Amino acid sequence: MDALKGILPALMTPFEEDGRVARASLEALLARLFEAGVHGTYICGTTGEGLLMSVDMRCQVAEIAVANTPKGHSAIVHVGAAAFEDARDLATHAGRIGATAISSLPPSGPGFGFAEARRYYAALAAASPLPLVVYYFPEVYPSIRTLDQLEEICALPNVAGVKFTDFDLSVLGAVAKPGRVVFNGRDEVLAAGLLMGAHGGIGSFYNLVPDQFVDIDALARAGRWAEVRERQDAVNALITAVLRFPLFPALKQILTWSGIPCGHCLVPRSGLSIEQQDALRTALAAPVIRAVLPGDWRL
């Protein structure tokens, strides 16, 4: 439980042109993130395209990430899958390679409601010795929608806490109880999530500017809230600009421009068009955004 806190990038997965995992780029990204002071990573989640990969590819990414995680830092492996047997096998693999915890989105699709979500999490938590972090994302995965439902899931044996991806931070505040870890999942409101009791954050934009989010977390812990707000506002200018484009292709394009080739997203996602790339470069050239990005990036 003590290891489950702080700033954890939702790790992006670089790919070669033929779709294989780009090991060198992934290791370079991990080195950059830990050098910036992040406290761990969240592996093979939505940002990392885990649900689009084969089980073997997900195991490969998890092995690389865990092997490149410094001692004292956390590695949470997302194991959610359409087939429970795949999720169970991924959870077993995560335990075998030394991950800190596992996590999973709830089941999705027609006919899946709260009863199915509860049954899924109960079975997954029982199948692994690693603590389980529930992924609460009601906008996209509505099988868990209310505080009462979330509390019932969190009360299951071996559930350590929640990755909370929602803007209703009153629910975050209510679920952030002693003995339970809560990660803020909306990058735009990390500051507010920390104020409401989150123990840290898991986010996509942490891949781009990890130092900014590490500083927000540290300043919040020190109670320097005016500075926290300034940092959050600065980061939100970047987030607002990038969200005008398809998110994951845009993040990969920016990382590629920064010196870490990330390749394309997996099918069915596509890359940015030439016109979109030019527009993204223009957006990133705004002074308020350049002030947040590292100065040596060639964008």
Could you list the active site residues?
A: 135, 163
What gap in Å lies between CA 91 and CA 202, rounded to an integer? Answer: 19
Residue-wise DSSP of 149-192: HHHHHHTSTTEEEEEE-SS-HHHHHHH--TT-EEEE--GGGHHH
> Distance of CA 138 to CAs 11, 63, 91, 134, 275, Å?
21, 30, 23, 12, 33
Tokens matching residue 137: 């994302």
Tokens matching residue 143: 């099988």
> Which H or E run includes 133?
strand 132-136
The strand pairing partners of 74, in sequence order, are: 40
If you ran DSSP here, which 8-state letter would residue 245 be given?
Answer: S
If you ran DSSP here, which 8-state letter would residue 10 be given?
Answer: B
